[in-house]
Amino acid sequence: MSLARLQRVAVLGVGLIGGSFARAIKQAVPTLEVVGLAREPARLSPAQAARVVDDCRPISPASVTDVDFLLLAAPVSATQAVLETLAPGFSAQVVLSDAGSTKQDVDAAARLALGARYPRFVPAHPIAGSEQSGWQAAQAGLFVGRRVILTPTPETDGAALALTRAVWEACGAQVSELGVHEHDAVFAQVSHFPHFLAYAYMQQILQAPNAATLLAQAGTGFRDFTRIAGSEPKMWVDISLANRANVLQCAQAFQASLGELIDLLQAGDSAALEARFTEISGARRTWHL
Amino acid sequence: MSLARLQRVAVLGVGLIGGSFARAIKQAVPTLEVVGLAREPARLSPAQAARVVDDCRPISPASVTDVDFLLLAAPVSATQAVLETLAPGFSAQVVLSDAGSTKQDVDAAARLALGARYPRFVPAHPIAGSEQSGWQAAQAGLFVGRRVILTPTPETDGAALALTRAVWEACGAQVSELGVHEHDAVFAQVSHFPHFLAYAYMQQILQAPNAATLLAQAGTGFRDFTRIAGSEPKMWVDISLANRANVLQCAQAFQASLGELIDLLQAGDSAALEARFTEISGARRTWHL
């Protein structure tokens, strides 16, 4: 199935990501019909009126029999239940993908839920978003120039993988691949655990007796360091729990790293601290997005 | 001494802060002569040619006998030595200030170095800067709309305090006051310790076997969280050591805070984590610079 032959795409979870995907794929393939799936389809009427989706259907097998490609853009913890519900309705040629920030749990849920259809499932992680949420914030250009990581497994169907890549590239994304386990280990380190750190630091500030003074004196360093502590709490609890083992491993490694620097500070070892900070600072300045 | 009656201002340490201050105060009081003090005055010739300063003099008592206001904008660890050298040359009416990120150590050094002139010293912390350094990066507008914290003590001369406030306000800054000890405790929490955390996290990334992959996959969350890990290493070693007791206290409080969240994660307590994250995230979203 090539991109041009797609007739009907379904999106489950018409929020910022799902809604933006809907807008983007419709823009890329104007003949496409985009269907929003929701527990209460009527709640998607405004999204349909705003032409984010063309139709709204309930989350049931009958809703997906004529669907060529489905994007699951709901909380990762809902993956298994939702796919189990829909599974009886999928055609043999359907291609399924998701947009979750963690992949091991999504992949495990898909294996359990999809049975014979599992090879049609291509786990994906679009690295995109904004502080906003909801379909009202959906933009066709959300994924332009952004990265999407696909995490196929040995069982993944080659044609399904190719179509998924084509779909995300049609949305403007730069598509690359990682193994399922590697993805979660890497993103624990560079994304999930820093969120945890930022939450822990912000909590420390709020728990201080002089929290009001601290917040009044905090400046741009604080602002940037804690920006990710303003992230959507439910989503980040979801991600932390889904990727718990990796996040806990990061925490151990971090405490060792922090402990080293604390020991040097306690010892007043300015030469060693300067050597460390120089290396760290140099690496950060060299790095770029 | 009012602002209009200032004839000669000296700046010791004509870097980003000292140079910007020189430009700013000259713009505010065009009749002023701004003198740069350096170990090797000849090295300031380019700064003089660029009209950042009007004259260059060595760090010796004879250089300051006709100076009305001196800004010490050198590393905080140099404070005592520099002030001891200059002290014999100060007039009775001189007003002295600094630009250090820590105040207890600077205040203690000033007490030791200045003797009878100590009441003329008004410790100050301008909350300004950029990633750049050196007088070449000096801008007259660096302090416009930025905060400057003065930390007078019971011995501080009222007229010296008033003049220092007027000088910084003339540079466009919003001036406020904190106690010396409170300043250091507060800024450890909202500035110095987060830098330490960012350095520790970046070190952890660099020490990982797959550091190259991590850096390649890191995105905007990583970028903002680690921005302050790119800060000038020598300055931040200086600050960490100068404010060591407070930074170490912050580290203890942080490890307790992180430990709490780790325990909840380990226990899989999603309800408790969600309650915590919701409170933390809400507070961060409410906060603004």
- Contacts within 8 Å (CB) and 24+ apart, B47-54: B47/B14, B47/B19, B47/B135, B50/B135, B50/B136, B52/B14, B52/B19, B52/B22, B52/B23, B52/B135, B52/B138, B53/B11, B53/B14, B53/B19, B53/B22, B54/B26
In DSSP terms, B75 is beta-bridged to: none
Instruction: Give residue-wise pLDDT tens across range A22-40.
Output: 999 999 999 999 999 999 9
In DSSP terms, A55 is beta-bridged to: A35
Among A218, A221, A254, beta carbon nearest to B204: A254
Instruction: Give residue-wise pLDDT tens across range A210-229.
Output: 999 999 999 999 999 999 99
Average pLDDT of the segment spanning A238-256: 96
Pick the residue from chain A with its C-alpha nearest to B225. A225
For B149, the 3-state DSSP assignment is strand
Task: State residue B128's pLDDT score.
Answer: 87
Beta-carbon contacts of A195 under 8 Å, excluding residues fewer than 6 positions away, are A228, A229, A231, A236, A239, A240, B221
Q: Are B68 and B97 in contact (CB under 8 A)?
A: no
Q: How close is the nearest chain B Cα to the Cα of A204, in Å? A: 6
Question: How far is Cα of residue A48 from the mean position of the Cα atoms in its chain?
Answer: 24
Question: How far is Cα of residue A110 from the mean position of the Cα atoms in its chain?
Answer: 16
Say yes or no: A78 contacts chain B, CB-CB below 8 A.
no
**Banded pLDDT at A154 (limits 50, 70, 90):** very high
Domain boundaries along the sequence of chain A: 3-178, 191-286
Contact criterion met (CB < 8 Å) for B287 and A186: no
In DSSP terms, B96 is beta-bridged to: B70, B121
Interatomic CA distance for residues A134 and A50, integer angstroms: 13
As for the ipTM of the complex, it is 0.91
Name chain A contacts of B284, Cβ cutoff 8 Å.
Answer: 202, 226-227, 229-230
Per-window interface: B 40-69 vs A, CB < 8 A: none
Pick the residue from chain A with its C-alpha nearest to B251. A262
Among A190, A261, A270, beta carbon nearest to B196: A261
Name chain A contacts of B207, Cβ cutoff 8 Å.
Answer: 253, 257
Has residue A62 got a pLDDT over 90? yes
Whole-number mean pLDDT of chain B? Answer: 95
For A125, the 3-state DSSP assignment is strand
Q: What's at B137, amino acid-wise?
A: A
Pick the residue from chain A with its C-alpha nearest to B205. A189
Has residue B182 got a pLDDT over 80? yes
Interatomic CA distance for residues A21 and A34, integer angstroms: 10
Task: State residue A122's pLDDT score.
Answer: 98
- The residue behind tokens 């993908």 is A97
- Contacts within 8 Å (CB) and 24+ apart, A117-121: A117/A87, A117/A90, A117/A92, A118/A155, A119/A155, A119/A156, A119/A157, A119/A160, A120/A90, A120/A93, A120/A94, A120/A95, A120/A96, A120/A157, A120/A160, A121/A96, A121/A97, A121/A156, A121/A160
Percent of chain A with pLDDT over 70: 100
Say yes or no: A276 contacts chain B, CB-CB below 8 A.
yes
Contact criterion met (CB < 8 Å) for B229 and A280: yes
In DSSP terms, B12 is beta-bridged to: B37, B72
Q: Pick one of 1.10.3660.10, 3.40.50.1220, 3.40.50.2300, 3.20.20.140 as the CATH number of A191-286.
A: 1.10.3660.10
Say yes or no: A127 contacts chain B, CB-CB below 8 A.
yes
Task: State residue A75's pLDDT score.
Answer: 86
Task: Tell me chain B's radius of gyration from C-alpha atoms.
Answer: 22
Q: Which of B205, B213, B231, B250 best tests the A interface by mutation, with the highest count of A CBs <10 A?
A: B205
Average pLDDT of the segment spanning B135-140: 93
A3-178 shares its CATH topology with A191-286: no
Contact criterion met (CB < 8 Å) for B186 and A214: yes
Contact criterion met (CB < 8 Å) for A200 and B257: yes
Has residue A95 got a pLDDT over 90? yes
Q: Are A60 and A37 in contact (CB under 8 A)?
A: no
Interatomic CA distance for residues A149 and A143, integer angstroms: 12
C-alpha distances in Å from residue A102, one per residue of A62, A75, A105, A229, A250? 28, 10, 7, 19, 15
Contact criterion met (CB < 8 Å) for B273 and A214: no
Has residue A76 got a pLDDT over 90? no
Beta pairing class for B95-98 and B121-122: parallel
Has residue A129 got a pLDDT over 90? no
Task: State residue B73's pLDDT score.
Answer: 96
Name chain A contacts of B219, Cβ cutoff 8 Å.
Answer: 127, 147, 190-191, 289
Instruction: Give residue-wise pLDDT tens across range B33-80.
Output: 999 999 999 999 999 999 999 999 999 999 999 999 999 999 888 999
- The residue behind tokens 């580290």 is B251
Has residue B105 got a pLDDT over 90? yes
Q: Pick one of 3.40.50.720, 3.40.190.10, 3.40.640.10, 3.40.50.300 as the CATH number of A3-178.
A: 3.40.50.720
Tally A–B CB contacts below 8 A: 250
Interatomic CA distance for residues B280 and A215, integer angstroms: 13
Average pLDDT of the segment spanning A96-120: 96
Q: What is the DSSP string of B223-245?
A: HHHHGGGGS-HHHHHHHHHHTHH
Pick the residue from chain B with its C-alpha nearest to A185. B214
- The closest of B200, B13, B186 to B102, measured between CA atoms, is B186
Interatomic CA distance for residues A256 and A100, integer angstroms: 30
E strand spans, chain B: 8-12, 33-38, 55-58, 69-72, 95-98, 121-122, 124-127, 147-150, 174-177
DSSP summary character for residue A13: S
Per-window interface: B 165-204 vs A, CB < 8 A: 178, 182, 186-187, 189-191, 194-204
Task: State residue B132's pLDDT score.
Answer: 79
For A131, the 3-state DSSP assignment is coil
Contact criterion met (CB < 8 Å) for A281 and B257: no
Interatomic CA distance for residues A161 and B144, integer angstroms: 54
Task: State residue B222's pLDDT score.
Answer: 96
Contact criterion met (CB < 8 Å) for A224 and B220: no
Average pLDDT of the segment spanning A38-57: 94
Contact criterion met (CB < 8 Å) for A191 and B237: no
Task: State residue A77's pLDDT score.
Answer: 84
Contact criterion met (CB < 8 Å) for B254 and A204: yes
Say yes or no: A209 contacts chain B, CB-CB below 8 A.
no
Average pLDDT of the segment spanning A233-247: 95
Say yes or no: A147 contacts chain B, CB-CB below 8 A.
yes
Interatomic CA distance for residues A242 and A224, integer angstroms: 26
Average pLDDT of the segment spanning A142-162: 97
Interatomic CA distance for residues B233 and A44, integer angstroms: 53
Say yes or no: A274 contacts chain B, CB-CB below 8 A.
yes
